[in-house]
Each structure stands twice: as C-alpha cells, then as structure tokens.
Structure 1
Amino acid sequence: MQKLSIIIGFLVITAGCSQFSNSPTSKAWHNTNALFNSLIISRENMKEAEKELFKTREENYSALMPILLPMDSTKAQAVAANLKEIIEKTSLIAERHSNSKYLAEAYILLGKARLMKGDLLNAIEVFKYVNTTTKDETGRHMALIWLMRSYTEQKDYETALKVSEVIRTLDLNKFNTRDFYLTKAYLHQRRGEFATSAAIAEEALKLMSKSEQKARVHYATAQMYDIIDQSAKALPHYLAVSKNRPNYDMEFYSKMNALLDEAVVRRGSTAGVQENFKKMLLDRKNTDLKDKIYYTMGNLEAKRGNFPKAIEYYNSSLRNSTGNSAQNAYTYLELAELNYNELQKYDLASLYYDSTLTALPKTSPDYDRISRRALSLGDFVKYQRVLTLEDSLQHLAAMNPAALDKALEKAILEKEEEAKKAQQLAEELARKNNNVAVQRLSDKDETFKRWDLYDPVVIARNKSDFQQLWGNRPLEDDWRRKDKQAGSVSFKVERGVAGNEPTSANGATRQEVEQQKEDAAAKALEAKKKEIYAKIPSTPEKLVASQRKQEEAYYQLGKIYKFQFNEPENAIATFKTLLSKFPKTVHEAEVLYLLALTSDNQETSPYRATLLSKYPASTYARQLLRGNVSITSDTESKAHVVYSQAFNLFSNESYQSALKMAEDGLITYTGTSIEDKFAMLRIMLLAKTGQREVYQQALNEFIQGYPSSNLMPRAKELIAVLDKK
C-alpha cells in the first residue's frame, strides 16, 4: 500500500511538471530547466560570437561604413562552434520546455544564430513563428526587428520596409527602440537613401551608451552627410567619434575627415587645414598612414576645385602606399572620377578605372558600377582614337611628299624623346620608392643598420660608381692589367693616354662605332616611316576605308554618350556631326530616330519629318508612329485585306506593285497583329527586285524589331544564307 502511494505521488508530480501543463509547479520547473540548462549557455555563446566577429572585423574607412556589420557566413566560420551550441541548446527549450517563459528568447537566439550562419530562409521562418505565436510582447517586437534585419540582408528591401511600418506602430521599450532605429537606418543606407538613414541613425545614437559601436554609428552617419554634401551636419559626428572609445584607425580617419569638413564649412583658404595634415605626416605614429593623409588632402583640394593640386596629392598617396590595395583602389577611383567628370580626359579616366578594378574587392558595392563605367570608357577611348588617328592620316595624305617626309621624321623623333623622358621619370620614381622603403625600415628600428655587403642600396650605388670609372669589367684576376679590355675602357683610357686605338670587341675605332650607331638609327627611322606610310590613305580606296572608320566611330560615340554616359547634349552634337560629315551614312535612319527622341517636341521635330519622309518603311519610322496609331477591329480587317492583295501580287510575280502595296501597308497598319507579316513580305520582295543593300538592312531591322514574331526562324535562315554568300 505504501509503495502504491509513492507511485501515485510520483505520477502526480510528473504529470504536474509536463511542458503542456500551465500549473505554477510545471512552469517553475520548466523555467528553471530552460534557464540554467540552455538559455544562459546560449546567451554567453551569442555574446562571445558577437564580440569575436566585431573584434576581427575588417573596416575600410575610405568607403562608406555600414551602420550594422553585414552578416557574412564566411566570417561566421570563426564562431561556428558557438553558433552550433546556440542552435542545439535553444532547440532543446523548444522541444522540452514549450511552456517556459523563456521560449520567445530561445527562438530569437536560434533565429539570430541561423542568420549569422547565412541560413536566411530558416531565420526568417523562426522570426515569423515567434511573431505569430508568442504572448511575450517584448519578444514579439524583438522578433519583428530581426525579421526586418533578415529581409534587409536578403536584399528584399520592400518587404523589410513593410515590416518596419508594422513595428513603427508598436509600443517598444528603450532597447527595442534603439535596435529598431539602427536596423531601419541600416535598411535605408543599403537602399542608398542616405538622408533618411542619417536622420534615423541620429535618433538611435541618443539611445546608445558610450562604446566603439556608437563610434562606428557616428562615423557612418558623418559619411552619409558628406555624401549628400551636408558637411556642417557631418562635422559634429566626426568630432564625436573620439569621445566614444574608437580604435586608432577610426579616430585617425575621423580627425582627417573632420579637418576636411571644417575647411568646407568655413569656405575659406585651405592653407591652415593643409598645415594640420602636414603635421600629421610628420607624426611617426602615422608612418604607415601617409597614403591616407595624402588621399584626404587630395579630396580637400578636389572639393575646392583645385584639380592639379588634388592630382598631385593623389599621386603622393599612391607613391606612399604601404601595400593597402583597398586604399589604392579608392585613390585610383578619385583620379578616375576627377578625369572623367571634371577634366573630360576620358583616356586617362579609362586607365584609372582599370587600375581601380584591379585593386577593388569584387564584393565592394561600387564594383558593378565601376566595371560598367570602365567598359564603356574603354570603348569610348577606342573610337576617339580612331577619329584622331584617321584625321591625322588623312591630313598626311594631303601633304606633298617632301613635307610629308619631314613631318613624319619630326613626329617619330618627338615620340622617341617623349618615351625617353617617360623612362627616365619611371626610373627616378623607382629609385625614390626604393629609398623610401629603406627609410621606413630604418624608422621602425633606429638601431637597424645593414652590413654594406648586404645592403642593396649601397651595392647599387657603389656598382654605378665603379662602372663610371672603370667600365663593365669582367670578374677575373688581373682586371687592371694594361692589356685587358673592359667594354670601351682600357688601361690607356684610365691613364688618360688613349688615342684612336680599338675600343670595341670587334676592333672598330670610336669613329666607326659612332658611324655604325648613326646608320642603325637611320635604318630604324626609315623602318618606322615605312610603317606609317603603309597606313596613310594614299589611294581613293584607302581614303574611303578611312572615312568609313570615322563614320562608324562617330556613330558609336554618339550611342555611348546617349545610352551609357547619359549625356544627351554630347550625343546630339556627335550625331549632328555624323550627319554633316557623312550625309549618306548607313546609320542615317537610326540617327534620325535617336535625334527625334531627344528633341523637346517629337511631333514637330525636323528629324522626325525627315525620317518619315525618307525612310517610311523602316523600323525606326514605325516606332515613332506606333504610339499615335489607334488599332480597332476595323483596322485589323482592312490590314488583312491589303496583305492578301499584296501577297496575291507577289504570287503572280508583280513584284514592283506588290512591293509598293507592302510598304504602304507596313506604314498604314503599324501596330496591327500582322505588321510583322507585312515586314517579311517586303523583305521577300526586296530580294526579288535585287535591292541587296536595302534587303540586308530590312532583315536586320526585322530581327531587332520583331524578336517574338513567329516568322523569326525564317528571318534567321535568310540571314544565314546572306552570310554564306
């Protein structure tokens, strides 16, 4: 009987502790187990993981700093053990302690761990589940904030904004309000809405305590104000960075940017600010940061419109680089943007954009934009060079032979002189960089001193001195003996008693050696002249080919201006030049169409009128008409009747009449369902009437204008046959 009582009592207690029970005993038991067996461990692991990821983060202070550290599954591998334990422990709470008051927090930790691992879909499902099931209002608010963060990391910004609108209506506590502001600021920053993001970040800063995280938010907020040209609002945030326990690099950059904004706000001379920068250059703590200082000095001069000085400082930044590829990338980018936007030196801009891409990480937000710009500029520069080259060659072709020969010789010699100066400048820079590298090494340890036999600088200097005195003598015994020769220096030369003795290995005298050099130079000059002569359009056929290259270059440059650079004024000027210089250009119809589209009033544009009168059956004319045509069932019926009549004429071999009817029908019934049939019938009739060039152009227009037509396979077959011929 006693045993039975014990068993019954045990069963009652066990039943009372079930996770599906709401009794006080059950809840207390599960709360205790959830807290001490799982939750405390999960909290500590999350703190360690977040601390480690923040400590090992890689910041690029020259680029826009994100308000929150973006989730990176690759970097999260460093804390994989912590995240694994969080997932295991919080899952236990969900499985065994479902009536615990800590369930919502456990699920949120589980979702955060999955988010940090890059498992976005499961993280989103976890946060959604908490939002719809928990009765803990604080937990539900927290889950919604992390749901918004998850959608932001997924780049689903529209859904993230919808979630933020829901959160905005809730009564959040202080900590959730802070996290909401930070997450929303991060969302708008990712969307490129910097003014909104900065304003929200300022509200978040009011709720943050002094810490390095707060310093980051101040820095990011200041950067966004700089982007939207509000230096007066950026300056206080840069100054606040140093008051919130930043690391040395962040403090250094904030001070530099503060000086930059201070100069802009004052709108006065930059001399005083530049003096502060020069003091920073002399500070030994900044030895490895000189490239950043020069970069900021360049930014200051660029903002003031002093572009030559800005370029000088940017080049100094590159020369003082310590191998920081990210900094070099942004220096190259500033040089590229300056040459592109301000100086319109597109050839230089193209080179700098290419250099930017070699140093810029592919994960950079600017990478795609810069890549597209570099590609466009590469094409632009190519066609610009074609214009310049063909102009020069045509100018040379018009000269008389004697003047042409002198002009070529002068141009070749000037080019060689420029190349020689460039080589000397490159060698001088290389020597300077070598000396700077050795000096840096010495600065790091004042007691450092290489033994002369191992010092490359001393060796190079002594070797040069020796060669100037003795020449290139072989490393052998008795090298100073009088019967030894070493290049052009002999024992008699070093004694100052040399006459016209042989001074070369083959026994030639100095005069003969000099004559040989002159003959070689003359031969090289003639070879270069011959190479240029071959390119000069000296015959009518070559001149036509040269002009055709120019025609194509103008056409391509106009399209690049319009579609890639978004510079309509330059596009219009280029297209007008094309039509003026090449009135019979094969691109006339398309150019007229593009000029008509660019006109302020398309209806009254002279380019529209010319296109419709000169090329009424072209795809471009139909594109202009299509928007003004009202298609009814009656119009469709008439179109079918006209098409049948034209096709019957074609079948009866009345090709000219059929062609006239097909072209009229193509214009009159633009926008109908059988427009493509009219176009194909016209193509077939052009082939029958032997109009090869118009036929080829019509085929190309069909492929461009009717990509979804059922007649496309037939058009491609005709193109293939034409290509074979």
Structure 2
Amino acid sequence: MAIIVVVLSGCSTQKNTAKTRWWRAFNARYNTYYNGKLAYIDACLEKEKGNKDNFTEMLPLYTVGNKGSRELGKGNYDRAIEKSKKAIARNSIKRKPEWNKSRRKTEKDIEWLSRKEYNPFLWKAWMLMGRSQFHKGSFDEAAATFAYMSRIYKTQPAIYGKARAWLAKCYIEQDWLYDAEDVIRNMQRDSIDWRAAKEWDYTFADYYIHTGELEKAVPYLRKVIKHEMRKKQKAREWYLMGQIQAALGHHTEAYKAFRKVVAQNPPYELEFNARIAMTEVMAKGKAKQMIGKLRRMAASDKNKEYLDQVYYAMGNIYLAQQDTMKAIDAYEKGNTKATRSGVEKGVLLLHLGDLYWEMQKYSDARRCYGEAIGLLDKDRKDYEALSERSKVLDKLVPYTDAIHLQDSLQYLAQCPEAERNAAIDRVIDALKKKEKEERDRLAEQEAAQRQGEGQNMETNRGRMPNPAQDNNRDAVWYFYNVQAVSQGKSQFERLWGKRENADDWQRNNKTVVGSIGSGIDEEELTDEQRDSIEAAELAQDSLQQVADSAQNDPHKREYYLAQIPFTPEQLAASNLLLEDGLHHAGVIFKDELDNLPLAEKHLRRLTDHYRDYEHIDETYYHLFLLYSRLKQPATAESYVDSLKARFPDSQWTTLLTDPYFVENAKFGKHIEDSLYAATYEAFKKDRFDEVAANASVSETRFPLGANRDKFLFISGLSRLNDGDAEGCVSNMKQVVEKYPRSRISEMAGMIVNGVNQGRQLHGGKFDLGDIWTRRAIVLNDSDSIKQVKFTPDRDIDFVFMLVYSPDSLNENKLLFEMARFNFTNFLVRNFEIQIEEVGGMRQMRLTGFLNFEEAYEYARQLFANQAVVRQTNGKAVPIIISTKNEELIGKPFSYKDYEDFYAQNFNKVELPKRNTLFEPADLNEPREPEKVQPIGIPEVDNQSVTSEAGENEETLEVEDDTQFIPIEEPSQVVTDTTATEPAKEDEPQADAPQKEPEAKDAPTEPQPETAPQGGNEGGSTNEGEPKEPAKEMPQEDAKDINVPEGKPTEQPKEPAKEPAKDQPSAASKDQPKEPQQEDNEGTTIAVDPTGDQPAETDNQGDLIEIDPEDEPAKPATQQPEEGTIVIPDEPETPPAPAVQPPSSSTPKTEKPQQDRPATQPQKPVQDQPQGKEDDEDEPEFFFEGDTPSSPTNSEDKETLDDGLDDEYYELDGF
C-alpha cells in the first residue's frame, strides 16, 4: 500500500513528467470523462428521439435550432458538463516541463514549451463540455468555452481549428452572423488544419444556410452528409438538401434528395413529408400524376393525421397551374379534415387567407388569419405583418359584413315572393348540410378516439407519460407554451372580440365617472323609477319568451323573413347600418389598408346615395384627403367647397380653411409634440401663464391633435393655482367625456369623483415639509388617542432609516455605497437593507440593531464615510427609531413629532464604552455544519492519494460540487512557495563552483503520450532516473514510475531550516521539487524533481554540473516554473519529446550521504558509464525523427497520446 501511495504521489498535477502526463490522461479518460461521455450520448439520444421538426420551413442543420426541442436532454447535458469540469479541474497539468539550457531549442521544442496544457487527453473534456452546452442551447456559455479553449490550444492547429469552428457555430445559432463571419475570415486567412476540416464543413454549411447563400451551402452540405454517422440525422440533412435545391429551382436535384430521404428508412413523419415534397418538385407536366398520388395518400389510413399537409400540397399544385378555385377548395378541405392543430395547419390557413385577401373577401380572410395566428410561431419573419393585417381586419370586417348583409336583405325585400323564398330555402339547406357534416365528423372522431383508447388501454397501463411527445407541449406549463396561449387568445377573441387586458373587461364603458343613479339602494328609488325598472324587466322577459318561436329558429323561413326590411321604418334602420358601414369601411380602406380604389368606392357611394348621413361633413373631409393623395386637386377642392356651402360651422370646414392647414398636414404632429413638451416643462416650473397660452394655441390650431387630452388635463391643474376649482373640474369632465379611452381619463375621473364626494381641491407641488408634518389620524382629546405615545426604551430593536423625497438623489448608487460600507466594516453582522415608499417619502431601512447604542454608533461611522455622504448630498434625513415607534409614524404622529421626541429623549444619552457592533448578534457560537458522506461509490480522485503521500506537496483538490469556471491566467513564472527561503539568502557563494545545485528531480522532458506504461525511447534505464522498487514492480515498468529513493513516508510540516555549509538542508529533502537555477538569459536549469537523492550525494542521480563561468553569484534559489491553472484536452501536437539516455554520467563528488529513513530498499546503481567533468551531460529532449539512432522499444511509447482521433466515434456520432 505504501508503494502505491508513493507511486501515485509522483503523479501530481504539480509535476510535468512522462509519468504524470500518462497517469493524468488515463485518469481523466476512464474516470469522470467516461461518465460525462455516457451522459452526453444519453442526452443526444433523447433529443434525437423527441425532436419535432417544422417541415413547412427550412430545417435547421442542428436540432437545437428547433426551440421546442431545446429542453430535451437538459439534465444529461448538465451532468456531462459537470463531469467535464471535474475532469479538467482534477487532471490539468500547467507546470512547464524542465529544460536543459545547453540544448538548442528547435521549433518543435519552442512549441512544446509554449503550451498552456500538458495533459494530452484533456482537450476532449473541453470539447465535451462545449458541445454539451451547445446542444443544451446555452450558446453564450458554449461560446465562452470554445473561445477559452482556442486560447489554450493556440499552438496546436488541429485542436485550435476545432474550437474555432464550434465557436463560429455558437455565433451562427444566435444569429450573430457578423461575429461568425469574423471567425471564419480569420481562420481562412490562417488556413485550416486538415484534421479540423470536418468541423469546418459543418460550420460553413450552417453559416451559408443562415445567411441565405444557398448556392454556397450545397457543396459543404454534401460533405456534411458524407461525414454524418447517425442515420436519422443523415435523413434530415438529405431533406434539408432537397429544400435548398427546391428553393434554388433545381427540381430534379431536389427530387433526388427527397428520394435519398426515403431510402434512409427514417421515421414515418420524415418519410411522409419527403414524399409530399417529392410531389411538389416533380415536373410540371406531371400534375395529374402528382394529384393522383396525393389522393391515394389521403385515402390511406396511415395518413389520417396528416390530411392537412396532403391537401395543402394539392392546393399548391393547383395554384402552380393558376387554378385558384381548385386551390381554395383543396385548402378548405385540408382545414376541415385536419385532426391536429399544429404549425402545418397554420401555414395552410395562412396561404388560404392570402388568397381571400387578394380576392378582397375580407370576412373569409379574417377567419383564416384569426385561426392561423394562434398556430404559427412568433419568430416567423412574416408574423408581425400577419398580426397587423389581422388587427385591421378585426376593425374592417364588421362594417363590410354589415354592408353585405343589408344589401342582401334590401334586395330580397324587392324580389318576388317565389324568388325570395327560394333564396331563403337555399340558405336553410346549406345550413342543414353543414350541420350534418359537422355531426358526422364529430362522430368519426369520437369513434376513432374510443377505438384508440380501447387498443392502447392495456399497453399504456403502468407506462409513464413521455413529456417529449405531443409536440413537446405537455412538458411545458400552459402559460409557458406560446402556441397554447395563442390558441386560447384566438378562441377568446372569437367569443368576445378584442378586449384589453384589464379589470372588468366585460364592461363597455369603463370610465371612472359613474352614471347618475348608479350604486343607489333600491329603497331610495322613487315610485316612477321603480315603475321604469319593472317595465324594462317585463320587456326583457317578453323577449325571452319568444326564444322558442319560429322567428328565432334559423331552420325556418320566418327567421329570415323577420330580418328583411319591408316597412319604411325597417328600411330606414337598414339604411343607417349601411351608412355607418360605408363610412367606417371607406376610412379604414384609406388610412390603414391604403386601398384607395375601395376607399373611393365606399365613400362616393355614401355621398351619392345617402346625402343626409349624420357625419357627411366628415366624409367630405376624407374624400378631400383621398383625392389629394390621388393627385386630383380640382376634385379635392370641390369637396372643400361643398363643406363651405353645406357645413360652414363644421370643425372639418374650419380645419380645411385654416391658413396653416398645409403646414399642419406636413409637420403638425411634430409641432404639437414640441408644444406639449414645452407646456409640460412650464407646468413643472410653475409658469402657469405660459401653460394657459399654449393650451389656447392647442385648442385653436390642433383641436383634433393627439395630445389634446393632455393639454386639457394640464390646463385644468394649472387653474388651481388661481383658485379656479370649477374650471379645473370642467376640464376634467371634458377629458372624461371626449377621451374615455385615454390613459389620463382615469386620473381625471378620479378628480371628478372626489369633487362629487365633497372633497376640496387645492393647488401646490410636492413639499417635503408638508409630508414631514403629515399624519393620517388627527390628534384630539379622546382617551384612546392619549394613550398612544412614543416609547423611550433603548434596549429594544432599533432601525436606522434614511428618508428622502423621490427622485431627489441617485437611489441605486446610494444603495451600492451602503452595501459596500456594511460589507467592508461589519463582517459578523448582517444588516438587511430595504427600500420602501411610505406616505410619499422614500425610506432606506437598515434592520438588525439590538439597541439604540448600536444604531447610533452605526450612524456615526456611516456619516464618517465620504462616499456615502456624497451620495446623500444633504437630501436624505437620517432617523434612528425603534420598531415600536416606527409603527406610529404617519398615523397618530408625523416625522416632525418624532424629531422633537428624539431631541428630548435620545440626544443626551451616554454611550457604553464597549462597541457591540463588531460582535455577532447571536453570542452563541454557530455550530459547524456536519460533513455528509455522499451516498454511493464516489469517482476516484487521486489527488487525495497524492496528498497522503507527501503532506508538504501542493496538490489541486477539487470537491465534487465545485463549479469550474474557465478563466485564462497569465502564463508567467509562478515561484514555488514551498522552496527553502532561508537557504536562498544565507547559502555561501564560494562553494558554488565546486559543487552542483542541490537537486531532487532529474531534468524531465515531455514523453511520448502513447506508451502503455511509459519509458525512455531507448529502452534502457537512464542515469539519474528514479530507481524502481526492488520487489513490487517489474523491471520494465520501473522505467517510468519514479519512486523517490529513501523518501520518508511521513514528514512533519516544519519551517525550513538553514542548511549547513557542507551539509544538505533538511528542507530540501522534504520538498517535492527543488528550485531551478536561472541564468541571466532566463534559461532555467532543472534540478532533480523526484527526490531520489539528497542534495549533496555521490551523484547517484542526474545532477547537473554547472560551468563556473555560467554560474550566478548565488546558489540556485529560483523556484520551478509553474503554468497557469487551465484545463485542456488531448491536443493535436507534434510528437512528444523523448528522453535521450546520456552517454556518460556526471562525475561524483566524494561526500558522505546523509542518513535518512527509506521506504523501499533501493537497487544499487552499477555499471554507470563515467564521463568527463567538462561535459554537461544532462537528459536531453529529442522529438521523433530528431533522435539519434538508438534501440527503441515500441512498448515504451505512451498509449494515451491518441493524437487527434475524431471524437465523433467515441460519442456515437453525436
């Protein structure tokens, strides 16, 4: 066991040897990374199985592009991310390898030494983490991961290229196309490594699809299809290829691509949509063949759920042949026979509505748009236009329907009776047929549902529901499901129409001012009022009694005959409906639809046939505007003349004869906005004369302006300054009556209601002094009030408050300074800060003071802080008050009352000498939380083993619940704090030429990362390498497992002592690494890292002979370099350097070896070749192809440097 502990202690991440790299790569791969890989595969399988594509639009290359599928697999992706972070945190090797300064550095050497991560496998953990974040939909996190990864592996082109490719994908999926283009352009300039070409094929295909450059996307998409390993994903990519080819007009290529989809044997939904798409891209001469094929598909029981798509495809074919009526018929069949309410049906209704819109059948278009808007995704490019069109139709259709109905009824009134009855019978027959079809359809649905429930009852028993089914809607709460909410809104609007989201939405008149007599008790009514109410109730009852009569049955002729205007009175009522419909429809056509011909048709019909219309003057005004837009000034002026002749006092006549009319028409909106802004500014600064003058200008020049209600409101408030309360109320009533839907109408109504209830109006602005003396309860002489008093108790809970008027200071900055003051000064106390608004004042309250003395001391220290004082700026009043007294502020007492009470009772209080602010509020010591042992077998963490082996050795320990955040640290030399500091200062300088630096580790070069156990390339044991245990390890394995010779198993932690002149220091024996010596050029001279020998032995290890000329003035005390704590994966690197066995050893110095306990019997060193003293024979670095001819053993190469193999294989192609 001791051997295992000692062996693993040499595998610390603080060491960079072939052994540590091999072990850390092995541990990362088969421990945490393996579990993360399994979680990632499970998540991808779940997403692949539950993904629902929208085949009416171009498919995204990655399923994460479907927003409805992003939540799938989230739990497993999170687990994969967590495991990746653990693998990175536990196995990252940042320490730079040790280098022989006498060896000239090649380009490969420079690349090796400039790396920021030396664990050859860890790049895969980075890649797994980034890919998991990407497929989870956390594109920002994934982009941060890949950007950081590209900085770590900047020197390794293959890994760098993969990371940059995924970074570009993250930008593309967020539609940050400029950033993606920048990454792509830079990579193309720097060239792309061939081992990263696969990732860049995916990236280029995705980029060109998102930018709409479909021609450029085709060749890359073909490469992607060749790379793809997942069968279902390959079928999706072939379908995407077909969509792109169809969009480019290459119907033959599109047809071939869709056939490839069917050949992949994909899920039925994908296969069905591919077959539908094949019919749409077939040659134009094969229309009948395509229609026949689609009809056979509609007759198949397998396609009952997809009938909307089948008939949609039929309609598209008819539309391509310019047969609009058959296309509409096909679309209508698809709408009525659809069994699901999905995006496919929404697209069908959208196209059907567009056809009705072009045919000016606005009622049918409104029906289609209203239903489609609840089925389509809000992210569609045309959704905003569709929504606006639907809103306009909601305004227009009631008027056009009224026009059509009244025209039909008046026509029937003039028809012969036989023709009239025949027309009515046709309507009744159509109604009965429609009702029968609806009953049959519902019966079929119920039968199919019962049959399906009977078949699935047994199979579904005990089975848990799959949240990924039903288009992923059951997995989301109703109010978070956008489509479900939209459908609910659409159904509500069909029943109730357009209503604002407000209380009492059922009421038509929601003004604050109630009608006369509302809310009056029935006992207070007069006899006449009671009689009128009873008469109204009787009339209502009489209407209800006719509910079953023939006149209310739409299946009887009497129902329709009752609506036909036969009498002059009925004809006059019908004409009123016609007049109103023609006027409003014409205005909507002109202003909102910009359909000037239809607007002219409706408005001219009104002026020609209904000259006595109530608002005919307004109609003339709109005709003037209409013909002005049609560039017919003579006709437009004729309507001005008509207004002058017939309606000289009309507001429209005044408007058109205004000399500023043309200027107002061009710039009136901006002029009125500027005028109102100036008026509001004058009102705030009490320039009431200016307010009155501007209000007069608004009344004369902009009587119909958009800000007219605001002018009335401000003008009314300004009149209070002169005591004109009646004028204020008059203005408020005008606002309520003329602008009931205005936002300001509610405030005006509240003022009117308050006056009606007897309240008095008074002017004035916000006054801090007024609020400071305000109280809700007026004190009187009653006994109950006299008993309520402030309490002078000081040993109860107190509150410190800053009271200030709203907007008088920067509240956020003050809050920040207060929080910073608390955090930096009171670490053991938790003062909670709350901001409230009480009685028109803002209060910043701090609670947690146990008595008055603590609150007072806090306030004293607070106002000694200049940052807080600058923020208050004298505009905040500090108050120290007990919680009991605080309850009385604003009720029986005011702030001013408490200020007087405080001055009388607290101002002369003697403060105790002991300051308890810096003591915990709870004097009992808090219990330390118990450490709960995790249930189950934890993953192997060899860092703990390392820490047991040597207590003085620094290790990187990460708890299981540690969250790892990749932050790149500067790659500067970090000195080892465990080195012998005293020895650095006092070691004699004269002995330096005669002896070598004290060493514990032989210079260790980076080893090849592919050998099973590791070892030297030559297959022989190098001089100075750590010797293997005599019994516990086979001979060939001992070449790479460095066991410190004679290293104690347990060393007490004591401060390093100054060593004697001719004796090795005790501290040097205890440290895992000795300092390295650095010459003036910055070349680091490594010392023995394994600790085999004491510093001054007979050169049993690889000690370095230093030329006296190159030796610095002082002994080596520079600490070994340490890299930044970063976490990479197995990089694509040049072959790792190998250790060349030295040709001769360094000379031995005759010094006795110091006695020390040994953990293992050491194998004697013998047959070591001796070299000359002037040769600095150290272990040297050689790369593959650069090594001298020496016998090599294939099994000596490390197996974990598996190069840059495609990670897709071990991730099952995901």
| TM bucket, shorter chain | 0.5 to 0.7
Q: Which residue of 1 aligns with 2:80?
A: 86
Matches within 5 A, 1:97-136: 97-99=91-93, 100-135=119-154, 136=156
Which residue identity lines up with residue 369 of structure 2 in the other structure? Y
Equivalent pair of 2:60/2:66 in contact (CA under 8 Å): no
Equivalent pair of 2:550/2:558 in contact (CA under 8 Å): no
**Structure 2 gap ranges (5+):** 94-118, 456-548, 609-615, 641-654, 672-677, 679-688, 720-727, 739-1214
Separation in 2, partners of 1:588, 1:173: 75
Matches within 5 A, 1:569-648: 570-571=595-596, 574=599, 578=603, 586=618, 616-618=659-661, 621=664, 623=666
The equivalent position to 1:683 in structure 2, one of 664, 675, 698, is 698
Q: Which residue of 2 aligns with 1:240?
A: 260
State the 1:219 CA deviation.
Answer: 1.0
Equivalent pair of 1:408/1:529 in contact (CA under 8 Å): no
* Compared CA separation, residues 595 and 123, structure 1 to 2 (3 A): farther
Q: Which residue of 1 aligns with 2:50?
A: 56
- 1:550 and 2:582 equivalent? yes
Separation in 2, partners of 1:66, 1:200: 15
The equivalent position to 2:60 in structure 1, one of 57, 63, 66, is 66
Q: Which residue of 2 aligns with 1:632?
A: none
Separation in 2, partners of 1:410, 1:198: 64
- 1:700 and 2:715 equivalent? no
Q: Which residue of 2 aligns with 1:483?
A: none
Q: Which residue of 2 aligns with 1:29?
A: 23
Equivalent pair of 2:620/2:639 in contact (CA under 8 Å): no
Q: Which residue of 1 aligns with 2:1083?
A: none
Q: Deviations over 1:39-85 (max 9, x none)?
A: 33323332232122112212343443222212578756553443233
Q: Which residue of 2 aligns with 1:493?
A: none
Separation in 1, partners of 2:380, 2:324: 26
Q: Which residue of 1 aligns with 2:768?
A: none
Q: Which residue of 1 aligns with 2:435?
A: 426
The equivalent position to 2:285 in structure 1, one of 268, 276, 281, is 268
* Compared CA separation, residues 47 and 137, structure 1 to 2 (3 A): farther
- 1:41 and 2:66 equivalent? no
Separation in 1, partners of 2:570, 2:210: 53
State the 1:308 CA deviation.
Answer: 2.5
- 1:249 and 2:262 equivalent? no
Equivalent pair of 2:88/2:125 in contact (CA under 8 Å): yes
Q: Which residue of 2 aligns with 1:414?
A: 423
Q: Deviations over 1:105-155 (max 9, x none)?
A: 322322332344444433332222223332333333333333333334444
State the 1:237 CA deviation.
Answer: 2.0
* Compared CA separation, residues 440 and 166, structure 1 to 2 (3 A): same
Which residue identity lines up with residue 26 of structure 2 in the other structure? T
Name the count of aligned residue pairs. 568
Q: Which residue of 1 aligns with 2:592?
A: 560
The range that moved more, 123-132 or 175-184, is: 175-184
Q: Deviations over 1:261-312 (max 9, x none)?
A: 113xxx3252223233344456665565555433322321122112232333
Equivalent pair of 2:58/2:243 in contact (CA under 8 Å): yes
Equivalent pair of 2:716/2:731 in contact (CA under 8 Å): no
State the 1:337 CA deviation.
Answer: 2.9
SS in 1 for 2:163: helix
State the 1:585 CA deviation.
Answer: 5.2
Q: Deviations over 1:485-534 (max 9, x none)?
A: xxxxxxxxxxxxxxxxxxxxxxxxxxxxxxx9899979767743479966
Which residue identity lines up with residue 666 of structure 2 in the other structure? Q
Q: Which residue of 2 aligns with 1:351?
A: 367
Equivalent pair of 2:315/2:330 in contact (CA under 8 Å): yes
Which residue identity lines up with residue 238 of structure 2 in the other structure? H
Q: Deviations over 1:152-181 (max 9, x none)?
A: 444444434444444444533567444444
* Compared CA separation, residues 278 and 442, structure 1 to 2 (3 A): farther
Equivalent pair of 1:297/1:313 in contact (CA under 8 Å): yes
Equivalent pair of 1:383/1:557 in contact (CA under 8 Å): no
* Compared CA separation, residues 695 and 331, structure 1 to 2 (3 A): closer
Q: Which residue of 1 aligns with 2:486?
A: none
Equivalent pair of 1:339/1:349 in contact (CA under 8 Å): yes
Q: Which residue of 2 aligns with 1:212?
A: 232
Separation in 1, partners of 2:198, 2:140: 25
* Compared CA separation, residues 87 and 597, structure 1 to 2 (3 A): farther
Matches within 5 A, 1:178-577: 178-187=198-207, 189=209, 201-202=221-222, 204-205=224-225, 207-208=227-228, 211-227=231-247, 230-263=250-283, 267-268=284-285, 270-281=287-298, 286=303, 289-318=306-335, 320-323=337-340, 325-341=342-358, 343-360=359-376, 369-388=385-404, 414-415=423-424, 417-428=426-437, 430-431=439-440, 434=443, 527-529=562-564, 536-537=571-572, 547=579, 549-562=581-594, 570-571=595-596, 574=599
- 1:95 and 2:127 equivalent? no
Equivalent pair of 2:623/2:639 in contact (CA under 8 Å): no
State the 1:216 CA deviation.
Answer: 0.9
SS in 2 for 1:696: coil
* Compared CA separation, residues 249 and 519, structure 1 to 2 (3 A): closer
Separation in 1, partners of 2:16, 2:75: 35
Equivalent pair of 1:386/1:550 in contact (CA under 8 Å): no
Separation in 1, partners of 2:245, 2:331: 23
* Compared CA separation, residues 274 and 580, structure 1 to 2 (3 A): closer
Equivalent pair of 1:87/1:113 in contact (CA under 8 Å): yes
Equivalent pair of 1:390/1:547 in contact (CA under 8 Å): no
TM-score (norm 2): 0.40
Separation in 2, partners of 1:111, 1:519: 68
* Compared CA separation, residues 273 and 592, structure 1 to 2 (3 A): same
Equivalent pair of 2:403/2:577 in contact (CA under 8 Å): no
* Compared CA separation, residues 197 and 20, structure 1 to 2 (3 A): same
* Compared CA separation, residues 61 and 245, structure 1 to 2 (3 A): same
Q: Which residue of 1 aligns with 2:1010?
A: none
Separation in 1, partners of 2:311, 2:68: 33
SS in 2 for 1:66: coil
Q: Which residue of 2 aligns with 1:142?
A: 162
Q: Deviations over 1:603-655 (max 9, x none)?
A: x999899999955524864526999x9xxxxxxxxxx9xxxxxxxxxx9xxxx
Equivalent pair of 2:350/2:369 in contact (CA under 8 Å): yes
Q: Deviations over 1:358-416 (max 9, x none)?
A: 555667776555444333333332343354457678x78xxxxxx95767997687346
SS in 1 for 2:63: coil
SS in 1 for 2:322: coil
State the 1:418 CA deviation.
Answer: 0.4
Separation in 2, partners of 1:519, 1:114: 64
* Compared CA separation, residues 369 and 189, structure 1 to 2 (3 A): farther
Which residue identity lines up with residue 379 of structure 1 in the other structure? K
Equivalent pair of 1:319/1:433 in contact (CA under 8 Å): no
Separation in 1, partners of 2:151, 2:560: 84
* Compared CA separation, residues 407 and 97, structure 1 to 2 (3 A): farther
State the 1:714 CA deviation.
Answer: 8.5
Structure with greater helix share of residues: 1
Higher relative contact order (CA 8 A, sep 6+): 2
Larger radius of gyration: 2
Percentage of pairs with the same residue: 18
State the 1:427 CA deviation.
Answer: 0.3
Q: Which residue of 1 aligns with 2:937?
A: none
Separation in 2, partners of 1:173, 1:258: 39
